[in-house]
Amino acid sequence: VAGSKDVDLGGDSMTGNQELSRRAKRKQRRLARPPRPQITKRSIDGILLLDKPPDVSSNNALQRVKWWYRAAKAGHSGTLDPIATGMLPICFGRATKLAQLGLDSDKTYVVKAKLGERTTTQDIEGEVVCTRPVNVTQQQLDEALDKFRGEIQQVPSMWSALKYQGRPLYEYAREGIEIPDRQPRTVTVHDLQLLEARIEDLQDGDEAFVRLRVCCSTGTYIRSICDDLGELLGCGAHVQELRREQVGTYPVDKMVTMDQLMSLNLPLAPFNDEEAAKAGDGPQPEPNLPALDALLLPLGAAVPDMLDVCLDAEDSWTVSHGGSAFRPDLRVYCPPHEPQEVKLLADD
């Protein structure tokens, strides 16, 4: 769930037939896509904090926003599952060079985990494989949650984006293939808060659940925490709702929803047959680019804690071409043997 890195778990390479089959399927998907209207792309720099809606993949959200902005280059900082909502930083132009900072940063999630059921995918989209009664006291829940604070060991979920033999694990999971030699990894849960719990005095038809806020390091799988918690409590659990509240130090109040973007009379981006039919063959309205650009954060928003150092045009050119700029007026305090990073800003 959290933005996992592109890591290969090793193993033998795939056969030639498997690779050809994958290529053929990708080609079929490309040919089946409806043609998009031709647009003139532009170079633009900045960061949009998108509040991703549910039931939309991170890549689909990225491609829509990139199309609306007419951007030549864009990427996002950390994949969210389709069922998840919340902060998805989208980087345009030169900001894509800073996307890794978002991937490596701490993240905060609010998750609702349903107790009493375990699923194949560890979330609400999977098939229920085990149903057990919920006989959990508040004390038992508190003691179980304590085991997930601080440094913990996690076995990567089969539904994660971690790669094995060049393919994400979730692709194997969709084919019913279990990769047995997934090595546990150390992650850190900086803070784990119990926001709500319905576990005691349950009546017939009542749904047992817990709602948690988790602040964690990169690579932490929230679905794995919920699944492991359910097993520790002896009743099973899976993710029912998931929202990413924060990525690094990006300002939460600057998030923008899809509805807010659409309110700018944006043209419909035909990403499937239904949307292509709605768009029709007629001309589409042009997006309000100035209004869209006003929603972007500057590149420095990715590193707000670094000291700003402004360079004039001459020094900017020198530094960007590998040279050094001497600034006698610049004084940066660094503790002994602790170099300090700064961000250089062109004075333009």
Give catalytic residue positions: 81
- Phi first, then psi: give them for residue 102, nearest 5 degrees: -70, -40
Contact 113, 229 (CB under 8 A): yes
Question: Which is nearest to 220 in space by CA: 164, 152, 163, 174?
Answer: 152
Q: What is the 3-state secondary structure (H, E, C) of the chain?
A: CCCCCCCECCCCCCCHHHHHHHHHHHHHHHHHCCCCCCCCCECCCEEEEEEECCCCCHHHHHHHHHHHHCECCEEECCCCCCCCEEEEEEEEHHHHHHHHHHHHCCEEEEEEEEECEEECCCECCCCEEEECCCCCCHHHHHHHHHCCCEEEEECCCCCCCCEECCEEHHHHHHCCCCCCCCCCEEEEEEEEEEEEEECCCCCCCCCCEEEEEEEECCCCCHHHHHHHHHHHHCCCEEEEEEEEEEECCCCHHHCEEHHHHHCCCCCCCCCCHHHHHHHCCCCCCCCCHHHHHCCCECHHHHCCCCEEEEECHHHHHHHHCCCCCCCCCCCCCCCCCCCCCEEEEECC
The span from the first CA to the last CA of the chain, in angstroms, equals 39
Contact 48, 296 (CB under 8 A): yes
| 186's tokens | 């150390």
Count of residues making up the chain:
348
